[in-house]
Amino acid sequence: MRPHRLIAAVALVAAVPTALWVTAVPAQAAPPISRTVTDPVDATAAFDVTEVVMRAAPAAGRSAVVVVRHPRAVAPGDTLDVWFDLDGDRAPDLHVSGSAFSEYRAFESDALDDDGRDVTSRGCVRLSMQGRTSRVRLAPDCVGDPRSFSVAVRSSVEGAEPETDDWVPRPERLTRKVLAVVV
């Protein structure tokens, strides 16, 4: 390449808008190993959620965890639904649903309002509700070893109007991704 051509090429690269590079970098970055989503105290919520913490499994064979915090202790009738997107297509693949002091069920899922097969007995996902904390444990190696996951969380009280439900991050939306297993 002759010198004046080289100078022209360098000038062309320099002229590319900075924004192009800025937007390209985050798209390639790996999801974080944890994510905290804070949610307002909602006076209208029957069973309020104020924080959701997602954490990758610390190693292969361990569980990823979703910790849901409430401003009061869980009571009979309090219900939690958590949907997981495991393949990154922004549609749920797994739904766990349960009530305080009762049992929970897990279902394959294609949409927030569409449960498929009951997969509770596989033990891939478990829900516990105690004190001011609900906790969901997901075994990545039991659900096809996804690279990352995101969740939608809904809290409600049995028999209460849908308007009193609380959603994180917001109604019928999934959070951003978190790595499934720390690597």
| Residues that bind Ca ion in the complex, under the rule CB under 5 A | 39, 42, 48-49, 85, 87, 89, 91, 93, 166
Nearer to Ca ion, 137 or 154 (CB): 154
Residues with Cβ within 8 Å of residue 100, at least 6 apart in sequence? 74, 75, 76, 77, 78, 79, 129
Q: Give 53 or 91: the residue with its C-beta nearer to Ca ion.
A: 91
Place of tokens 């749920």: 92
For residue 70, the minimal CB distance to Ca ion (Å) is 9
Give the closest residue to 133 by CA, choosing from 54, 52, 57, 77: 52
Asked if 117 contacts 108 with a C-beta cutoff of 8 angstroms, the reply is yes
Minimal distance, residue 90 CB to Ca ion, in Å: 7
CB of 23 to Ca ion, least distance (A): 24
**How would you class 164 by CB atoms within 10 Å of its CB: exposed for 0-12, middle for 13-18, buried for 19 or more?**
middle
> Of 49 and 136, which has the nearer Cβ to Ca ion?
49
Burial (CB count <10 Å: 0-12, 13-18, 19+), residue 30 = exposed
Nearer to Ca ion, 81 or 85 (CB): 85
Minimum Å gap between C-beta 63 and Ca ion is 19
Name the phi and psi angles at 177, rounded to 5: -80, 155
Instruction: Give the nearest distance from C-beta 145 to Ca ion in angstroms.
Output: 15
Taking the least distance from each CB to Ca ion, the nearer of 38 and 130 is 38
